[in-house]
Structure 1
Amino acid sequence: MAVILFDGVCNLCSSSVQFIIQRDPGKVFKFASLQSETGKRYKELFNILASTDSIVLIKDDKVYIESTAALLIASRLKWPWNWFRIFLGIPKPIRDKVYKWIAANRYKWFGRKESCMLPSKEDRDRFI
């Protein structure tokens, strides 16, 4: 099992979670918003900075953030999305610069919610 922590009030992030769920038939991923009690516990347990508002992947007791997290998640999805792992070959500073630019503008471009998303009945078992 792998856990994805995400910004629960970000429209882009919530849409990304739905995208992942639809392309993860093996139910490899579980989810928690960074703002939730579970998200806060995971941040504490894995020594993730409290200020982290980026996507976080916790897999095999290792923490991945930013572009590395996004690309490792994509690598576990159905074809063709798993091919995005080739971008892991790009140096991390370059990948993260692009990731941080998108992250810095995500609320402006995609908006934000007043509260975290609620999963559908079918997907509740994917959230921890």
Structure 2
Amino acid sequence: MIILFDNNCVVCRSFKNWVIRRDKKKVLRFIPNDFESVKINKIEINFEFPINTIICIDENKVYKGSRAIFLTISKTGGFLGIISKVLATPIFGYLLQPPYLIFAKNRGKFARFFDG
């Protein structure tokens, strides 16, 4: 699975580092979501390129926002992986998208709580 993330964001880098530590099977590949990195890695996405949100590409399906977060965590296994698999379903993804958008919009205010 490929995860495109904002490498300029402390919160996003902290999330990436946390997930990499939990990814025992090494199935996740994080790539900065700037145009150059996406182009170099030959990743094609069919919608306007959102540089300020997390994107997950799994089996040629593209997920954004809260679903991308929970799908990513679901691949790490364990109790959090199981819970995240449930939260990554379409209904929970729909319900959790507004809080994700609020957090994402204000992530700079949360940066001091993270070690990115």
What interval of TM-score do these two structures reach, taking the shorter chain for normalisation?
0.7 to 0.9
TM-score for the superposition, normalised by structure 2: 0.82
Say which SS state the counterpart of residue 45 (structure 1) adopts: coil
Sequence identity, in percent?
Answer: 29
1:88 equivalent in structure 2: 88
Say which SS state the counterpart of residue 88 (structure 2) adopts: helix
TM-score for the superposition, normalised by structure 1: 0.75
Root mean square deviation, CA, Å: 2.2
| Number of equivalences | 111
Seen in structure 2, the aligned counterparts of structure 1 residues 28 and 105 have a Cα distance that, compared at 3 Å, is same
Q: 1 CA distance for matches of 2:45 and 2:35?
A: 15
2:76 equivalent in structure 1: 77
Seen in structure 2, the aligned counterparts of structure 1 residues 36 and 81 have a Cα distance that, compared at 3 Å, is farther
Spell out, residue by residue over 1:12-54, the C-alpha distance to the aligned partner (whole angstroms, 9 max, x if none).
0000000010000110011110125222566971124223411
Spell out, residue by residue over 1:51-108, the C-alpha distance to the aligned partner (whole angstroms, 9 max, x if none).
3411111111111100111111111113122022222354433210011011011012
Determine if contact 2:55/2:68 at 8 Å carries over to the other structure. Answer: yes
Structure 2 gap ranges (5+): none
